[in-house]
Amino acid sequence: MIVDDLLHGNGIYAETNSGSNGNAFMYAKKGYQVITNDVSEYSYSVANAIMSDNVPTEFNCKYEWLNKYSDSYIGRASVFASVVELYGYNAEIPSEINSELEEKINIYISYFTKINNEKVRSFKSYNEDLFNYLKKLKEEKINVDIMFMDFAWPWRDGSKTEEYNTTANIYSNVFEKSKIANIEIWDKENVIDNVIKAVKEAKKVSKYVLLSNQSSNYPTPEVLEVALLKNGLNYDIRHTMLTDAEYEDNLGKESFFREYLYVIRGDING
Ligand SMILES: C[S@@+](CC[C@H](N)C(=O)[O-])C[C@H]1O[C@@H](n2cnc3c(N)ncnc32)[C@H](O)[C@@H]1O
């Protein structure tokens, strides 16, 4: 609703942390030009599996069994998705394959192939730390209409989300030599400074920056809003909606929480 109201069906929709790539896929399907970015190998493989005809060019598999799946992003994404589904987000890739895993991978290969056959295509896809990505867009003189930012927010108690450490760092050398060295997942100590810096950098290449947050994260909306205002980042609009929680944990997530979306005007005009 927000994106369509701002773009009226035309323009470039980009993300800094595209994760599942579900939003990007939806906007690409609607006819927008989409740019995805995520530091995670898993996310990057999914972006290419569902929205591109690209094939990997680098190969250096951690275990022998992975070779069979390494020459396509559909294969790579299917390995990651299967391991996560069967063994959880923090599981390492097993050194050997078993029949349960093999069956699951085949199911995912069919699933991603079906999506790829819809021929929905992204404009560009990056696999960078978000600050490098924003720098690259600037260097490549790519301006976007919307930059959607849904960071790897820490939990409510301020601790970092460990699963992103797995997908960003542990998974980075599964199919290739590690491209990304030691990504720091944000916690209470650095999240606000990084968010302010990221929004400022994003404004330089965007017409609108859309910042997403939840009441179940740290910083809570009130803390975040004060930080934004203190740094001269005034938002034009603040949308909120009540959401059912994805899952229960012991880190202060309520069964319902509120999603927030701040619309901040970028520096690009016209
Ligand atoms: C909350 S999720 C985004 C979810 C996404 N909005 C979706 O719809 O699936 C945060 C994402 O940030 C990524 N991430 C963590 N640190 C990053 C960094 N420094 N640069 C880019 N992406 C990062 C994680 O891999 C994760 O996919």
Is 80 exceeded by the pLDDT of residue 130?
yes
pTM comes to 0.95
Tell me which residues have their CB closer than 6 angstroms to ligand 1. Answer: 17, 19-20, 22-23, 38-40, 43, 129-130, 150, 152, 164, 167-168, 183, 185
Separation of CA 17 and ligand 1 centre (Å): 4
190-209 CB burial, b ≥16 within 10 A, e <16: ebbebbbebbbbbbbbbbbb
Task: Give the pLDDT score at 247.
Answer: 56
Q: What is the pLDDT of residue 217?
A: 87
CA of 155 to the centre of ligand 1 (A): 14
Whether 32 shows a pLDDT value over 90: the answer reads yes
Mutational test site, ligand 1, from 3, 13, 15, 17, max ligand atoms within 8 Å of CB: 17
Dump strand ranges (E) for 150-245. 206-214, 237-244
Report the separation in Å between the CA atom of 45 and the middle of ligand 1, taken as the mean of its atom positions: 14
Q: What is the mean pLDDT of residues 33-52?
A: 97
Report, as an integer, the average pLDDT of 42-70.
97
Instruction: Tell me the mean pLDDT in the region 241-262.
Output: 72
Q: How far is the CA of 114 from the centre of ligand 1 (A)?
A: 25
Residue nearest to atom 13 of ligand 1 (CA): 17
Say whether pLDDT at 114 is over 90: yes
In percent, the amount of the chain with pLDDT more than 70 equals 94
Q: Which residue has the tokens 């929709």?
A: 13
Q: Whose CA is nearest to atom 18 of ligand 1?
A: 129
The alpha carbon of 40 and the centre of ligand 1 are apart by a number of angstroms equal to 7
Q: Whose CA is nearest to atom 4 of ligand 1?
A: 19
Q: How far is the CA of 19 from the centre of ligand 1 (A)?
A: 5
User: What spacing in Å lies between the alpha carbon of 99 and ligand 1's midpoint?
Assistant: 31
Indicate the SS3 state at residue 79.
helix
Encoded amino acid at 181, one letter: A
Please report the pLDDT score of residue 248 as a whole number. Answer: 52
Q: What angle do CA 40, 242, 13 make, to 5 degrees?
A: 45
Domains and CATH numbers, the chain: 2-265 (3.40.50.150)
Q: What are the C-alpha distances in Å from 147 to residues 91, 105, 122, 212, 220?
A: 31, 33, 15, 11, 21
* Pocket probe mutation, ligand 1, options 3, 25, 38, max atoms within 8 Å of Cβ: 38
When the pLDDT of each residue in the chain is averaged and rounded to a whole number, the result is 93
State in Å: Cα 41 to ligand 1 middle. Answer: 11
pLDDT of residue 270: 56
Single-letter residue type at 35: I
